[in-house]
Amino acid sequence: MSSYDVIVIGAGPGGYVCAIRCAQLGMKVACVEGRETLGGTCLNVGCIPSKAMLHATHMLHEAEHNFATMGLKGKAPSVDWKQMLSYKEETIAQNTGGIEFLFKKNKVDWIKGWASIPEAGKVQVGDDVHDAKHIVIASGSEASSLPGVEVDEKTVVTSTGALALNKIPKKLIVIGAGVIGLELGSVYSRLGAEVEVIEFLDAITPGMDAEIARQFQRMLTKQGLKFTLGAAVQGVAVKGNKATVTYKLRKDDSEHQMTADTVLVATGRKPYTDGLGLDALGIEMSERGQIKTDSKYATNIAGIYAIGDTIAGPMLAHKAEDEGMAVAEGIAGQHPHVNYGVIPGVIYTHPEVANVGETEETLKEQGRAYKVGKFPFMGNARAKANFAGEGFVKILADKETDRILGAHIIGPMAGDLIHEICVAMEFGAAAEDLARTCHAHPTYSEAVREAALACGDGAIHA
């Protein structure tokens, strides 16, 4: 049994960042994690492995579709699935090992095991009870279940199982056209699987700017993904090594079935707080199972905080990281601030899709006067050279003040390009500020500047 200033529960991006920040600020800190490796869902079974698979399969796609045009002749590579999975495992190991190194460097104790909070100021792991002046819950989330659908992580899988299938399915049905469904659907489509996506709503990626969502669907369809929209899944039946999905079309209530080797359930995630003993502690929760916190991430019980996927807001690793730093700084007596208006979202398909701030739809709802500056990647020299001319940058700015209110990019490196707009928004910039900033030629980022120019007197290359 030991005594700490702070014990963080969970070593995902929220928890490990919080622990490191606490240590940097001079606090004695431990982080409790029950997995064999640090990094949580993101590093072990989420963001990082999926990006390795997206990278590998994008390379394959380039070899199959664009190499010959560039004069790179020869047979396109064939897929060694075992090797691809071991590349993915190696990528995970490098990243999780990196966090272990950072813990040692910053003198963060890793308490291995699953934590519970028997009372405020105490954290129990196995038979040991540790004292902590402050406890930060960063226990993350788990895939939410769907009535009538039993996940076995072999034939009917969540993202975890989908990243470790023992063979590439001939046909994959994805339930849910959200971020997980489309990223992993893209991976298997590029590997030759027939991919059918069934989505409850009438558009893919709910919450995304509608114009971008339509363009995104067109591009994915061209890549071979098939979509059934407006369809409510009723259940999945597994027989042998096949699974049959039954769904009803919402427009006429007609019932249909579809069979595949693998079904990926990607219908959202929910906070994971099992076993912490929050009920007994009397911690207030919302009806959605999220822990209620104030602006300093404090729960209703003194000395207990919560961050990341366990509380309200987008379930994103980088949002959790920012909250992890902020809660640590708050405990240290500083006055941190997370700007929830400037949290980017990225879908790592090809092309990538990225967004920040308001959409046209949310601005209309608010009755705000805005202008749109758009620029297609077809007008960008670098994109054309790199077979990346599809897509566009769209900047939304206040009609009167020109202040940037939001931005949406579908195209090459969108997930990186979005950040110059994030910085601009953080500093309250006008579109003209971006337009007057010199951008190196030839880069994709010129498309961002051109979209900013389009908010004013016009883009040059459109």
Q: Does 396 bind ligand NAI (CB under 6 A)?
A: no
**What are the residues whose beta carbons fall under 8 Å from the beta carbon of 246, sequence distance 6 or more?**
233, 234, 235, 236, 237, 255, 256, 257
Stretch that binds ligand NAI, among 78-86, 116-124, 174-182, 336-344 (CB under 6 A): 174-182
Q: Between residues 182 and 448, which has the closer beta carbon with respect to ligand NAI?
A: 182
Q: Does 169 bind ligand NAI (CB under 6 A)?
A: no
Helix (H, G, I), strand (E, B) or coil at 344: coil
With CB atoms as reference, the residue minimizing the distance to ligand NAI is 178
State how far the Cα of 234 lies from the Cα of 386, in Å rounded to an integer.
43
Binding ligand NAI by CB under 6 A: which of 269, 319, 374, 449? 269
State how far the Cα of 262 lies from the Cα of 167, in Å rounded to an integer.
10
Binding ligand NAI by CB under 6 A: which of 8, 156, 243, 266? 266
Q: What is the DSSP letter of 25?
A: T
Q: Does 347 bind ligand NAI (CB under 6 A)?
A: yes
Q: Does 344 bind ligand NAI (CB under 6 A)?
A: no
Q: Does 34 bind ligand NAI (CB under 6 A)?
A: no
The amino acid that residue 426 corresponds to is E
419, HSE (Cβ side, Cα atoms, 13 Å): 4
Exposure string for 12-38, b = 16+ CB within 10 A, e = fewer = bbbbbbbbbbbbebebbbbbbbebebb
Look at the chain and count its residues: 462
Q: Between residues 282 and 341, which has the closer beta carbon with respect to ligand NAI?
A: 341
Tell me how far, at minimum, the Cβ of 186 lies from ligand NAI, in Å. 12
Tell me how far, at minimum, the Cβ of 34 lies from ligand NAI, in Å. 21
Q: Does 316 bind ligand NAI (CB under 6 A)?
A: yes
Tell me how far, at minimum, the Cβ of 143 lies from ligand NAI, in Å. 7
Q: Between residues 124 and 205, which has the closer beta carbon with respect to ligand NAI?
A: 205
Bridge-partner residues for 43, per DSSP?
none
Query: Which two tokens mark 55?
Result: 């990278």
Q: Does 140 bind ligand NAI (CB under 6 A)?
A: no
Find the DSSP H helices in 338-412: 360-365, 381-385
Q: Does 315 bind ligand NAI (CB under 6 A)?
A: yes
Q: Does 175 bind ligand NAI (CB under 6 A)?
A: yes
Tell me how far, at minimum, the Cβ of 129 lies from ligand NAI, in Å. 34
Stretch that binds ligand NAI, among 172-180, 236-244, 360-368, 376-384 (CB under 6 A): 172-180
Tell me how far, at minimum, the Cβ of 183 lies from ligand NAI, in Å. 6
Q: Does 353 bind ligand NAI (CB under 6 A)?
A: no
Sheet strands (E) in 315-388: 345-347, 352-357, 370-376
State how far the Cα of 433 lies from the Cα of 452, in Å rounded to an integer.
8
Helix (H, G, I), strand (E, B) or coil at 161: helix
State how far the Cα of 259 lies from the Cα of 265, in Å rounded to an integer.
14
**What are the residues whose beta carbons fall under 8 Å from the beta carbon of 50, sequence distance 6 or more?**
159, 163, 180, 183, 184, 187, 348
Binding ligand NAI by CB under 6 A: which of 30, 179, 304, 356? 179
Burial degree of 291 (CB within 10 A; 0-12, 13-18, 19+): buried
Confirm if 309 and 269 have CB atoms less than 8 A apart: yes
Tell me how far, at minimum, the Cβ of 27 lies from ligand NAI, in Å. 30
Confirm if 305 and 332 have CB atoms less than 8 A apart: no
Residue in 256, 337, 441, 461 annotated catalytic: 441
Angstrom distances, CA of residue 335 to CA of 163, 317, 325, 329: 40, 22, 11, 7
Q: Does 146 bind ligand NAI (CB under 6 A)?
A: yes
Binding ligand NAI by CB under 6 A: which of 5, 33, 199, 352? 199
Bridge-partner residues for 373, per DSSP?
395
What is the CB neighbour count within 10 angstroms for residue 372?
Answer: 16
Helix (H, G, I), strand (E, B) or coil at 193: coil
Binding ligand NAI by CB under 6 A: which of 48, 135, 198, 459? 198
Binding ligand NAI by CB under 6 A: which of 34, 97, 113, 206? 206
For residues 55 to 84, the per-residue mask of contacts with ligand NAI, x marking binding by CB under 6 A and - elsewhere, is: ------------------------------
Q: Does 313 bind ligand NAI (CB under 6 A)?
A: no
Tell me how far, at minimum, the Cβ of 179 lies from ligand NAI, in Å. 4
Binding ligand NAI by CB under 6 A: which of 56, 84, 180, 219? 180
For residues 412 to 451, the per-residue mask of contacts with ligand NAI, x marking binding by CB under 6 A and - elsewhere, is: ----------------------------------------
Q: Which of 108, 59, 58 is nearest to 350 (CA)?
A: 58
By CB under 6 A, the count of residues binding ligand NAI is 25
Tell me how far, at minimum, the Cβ of 24 lies from ligand NAI, in Å. 26
408 is catalytic: no
CA angle 229, 232, 234 (to 5 degrees): 140
Catalytic residues: 441
Interface ranges with ligand NAI (CB under 6 A): 146, 175-181, 183, 198-201, 206, 232-233, 266-269, 315-316, 346-348
